[in-house]
Amino acid sequence: EDKVVQSPLSLVVHEGDTVTLNCSYEVTNFRSLLWYKQEKKAPTFLFMLTSSGIEKKSGRLSSILDKKELFSILNITATQTGDSAVYLCAGRTQGGSEKLVFGKGTKLTVNP
Amino acid sequence: KAGVTQTPRYLIKTRGQQVTLSCSPISGHRSVSWYQQTPGQGLQFLFEYFSETQRNKGNFPGRFSGRQFSNSRSEMNVSTLELGDSALYLCASSPGTWASEQYFGPGTRLTVT
């Protein structure tokens, strides 16, 4: 059965801290891994990773995939209160389908 | 471009009733996927439609069904509602190729009493 596990489940930090969120996956015919940020509404897309070892960056956020060890990390540097959200990772299967298998998420709280 | 839209945004139904939810994807996107989100189970895949055909289905009972129209708009239907069907139902739109991202709509919050 396909499975995505995120850790930690929750995290509380102070503004300015750097955080690392973890995602391990066991997904049949793995194709890519996606990261989303969910505040009160719909998840918003952050990154899609398909190749090992290539870091993707967007401002203070970055992410990398290790297809040998089956995990990904999401880094956020110089955290701000606006980064408070649930961060979701999802594995995408091959086979002509858009099915995503989601982890339960990491709830990040950034205190001023 | 306009984003993914879902209607209605909120819905209250009683057990045994049925419900239909609607999703309009981003213009040009041909794939629509549906997900159920609950506090206990997180986001779970329901099904995906591409060019009016169901391309994949998750592990949900037959009470959950869907369809897609020629303009890529999609509907999902839940019959004989149960209390456990209370959830946020999200649809996601993508061009439908393996290298594309999925973009989520705001969701429909369904409460079954």
Of B33, B96, B98, the CB nearest to A31: B98
What integer pLDDT is reported at residue B110 of this predicted model?
97
φ/ψ of residue A6, rounded to 5: -110, 145
In chain A, which residues touch B (CB < 8 A)? 31-32, 34, 36, 41-45, 48, 50, 88, 90, 92, 94-105
* Coil vs helix vs strand at B108: strand
Contact B102, A31 (CB under 8 A): no
Share of chain B above pLDDT 70, in %: 96
Most confident stretch, A11-15, A28-32, A98-102: A11-15
What integer pLDDT is reported at residue A93 of this predicted model?
79
pLDDT of A2 higher than 90: no
Q: Which of A78-82, B58-62, B93-97 is least confident?
A: B93-97
What integer pLDDT is reported at residue A59 of this predicted model?
96
A 10 A CB-CB count for B101 gives 16
A30 or B80, which is more confident: B80
Contacts of B92 (CB under 8 A, 6+ apart): A98, A100, B4, B32, B33, B34, B35, B102, B103, B104, B105
pLDDT of B97 higher than 90: no
pLDDT tens string A41-76: 889 999 999 888 889 999 999 999 998 999 999 999
Measured in whole angstroms, the distance separating CA B13 from the mean position of its chain's CA atoms is: 17
What integer pLDDT is reported at residue B53 of this predicted model?
92
Place of tokens 């609950």: B38
pLDDT tens string B70-96: 999 999 999 999 999 999 999 999 887
Test the B interface: residue of A3, A6, A58, A98 with most B CBs within 10 Å: A98
With CB atoms and an 8 Å threshold, state whether A101 touches B45: yes
Measured in whole angstroms, the distance separating CA B75 from the mean position of its chain's CA atoms is: 7
On whether any CB of chain A is under 8 Å from the CB of B108, the answer is no
Give the Cα separation of A77 and A60 in Å (integer). Answer: 5
What value does the mean pLDDT take over residues B7-26?
97
